[in-house]
Amino acid sequence: MTTTPTADWLRLDQQICFSLNAASRAFGGVYRVVLKDLGLTYPQYLVMLVLWEHGDLPVKKLGEHLRLDSGTLSPLLKRLEAAGLVRRERSARDERSVEVRLTEEGAAMRERALQVPRRIATATGFDVDEIRALRARLDQLTEALDAAAVEEAAVNAAAESPGRGA
């Protein structure tokens, strides 16, 4: 049982989100180096991962896997297309939808990418089980935060227009 003075709650080094941010950006640094020979940025690499795993997908599905919307994906996919790794084709069945397809070159890159996860895993200094445990913890955190964001948004909306409360 550890009590903390209220004032200290504002200390930067107590903010979990700061540690999280720092770790995320540190990963960015490692990926930047490791992905350089593939010519990919980290988010582009994530898109390729999804395509390698699931095959061709509409932008919508891609976004669901990655939790990204079209505002982020559209320009990113254009860059992948310009790099020759991907084609974007309007679906014939549903003209609203755009299918993202791997090119030969994009599919071929998978082989070269196989070494990436191992290099990254090594860089973390964690073993497989530690990584798994941390992942589980983070996913749990994300779930709680997503739920809370909805809650908070509802509270805020109620505060702005005190319409019909429960």
Partner DNA sequence: CGTCATTTAGTTGTAGGCAATTGAATTGTG
Partner DNA sequence: CACAATTCAATTGCCTACAACTAAATGACG
Shortest approach of DNA to residue 155 CB, angstroms? 16
- Identity (one letter) of the amino acid at 160? E
Among 34, 48, 51, 59, the residue binding DNA under the rule CB under 7 A is 59
Instruction: Indicate whether 44 belongs to the interface with DNA (CB under 7 A).
Output: yes
Q: At what angle do helices 70-82 and 42-54 cross, to 10 degrees?
A: 90
Residues 91-110 that bind DNA (CB under 7 A): 93-98
Instruction: Indicate whether 113 belongs to the interface with DNA (CB under 7 A).
Output: no
Among 38, 41, 42, 103, the residue binding a second copy under the rule CB under 8 A is 42
Q: Which is nearer to DNA, 68 or 113 (CB)?
A: 68
> Could you give the C-alpha distances from 32 to 40, 146, 166, in angstroms and in order?
8, 28, 49
Half-sphere exposure of 33 (CA within 13 A, CB side): 8
Instruction: Indicate whether 75 belongs to the interface with DNA (CB under 7 A).
Output: yes
Q: Which is nearer to a second copy, 89 or 139 (CB)?
A: 139
Shortest approach of a second copy to residue 112 CB, angstroms? 11
Shortest approach of a second copy to residue 96 CB, angstroms? 25
Token code pair at residue 108: 């071929």
Instruction: Indicate whether 14 belongs to the interface with a second copy (CB under 8 A).
Output: yes
H helices within 83-127, ranges in order?
104-113, 116-124
H or E element at residue 129: helix 128-160
What whole-number distance in Å separates Cα of residue 147 and Cα of residue 128? 29
Instruction: Indicate whether 49 belongs to the interface with a second copy (CB under 8 A).
Output: yes
Q: How close are the terminal C-alpha atoms of the chain, in Å?
A: 36
Half-sphere exposure of 27 (CA within 13 A, CB side): 13
* Partner in contact with 73, chosen from a second copy, DNA, none, beta carbon below 5 to 8 Å by kind: DNA
For DNA, the binding residues (CB under 7 A) are: 21, 25, 28-29, 32, 41-44, 58-61, 63, 67-79, 88, 93-98
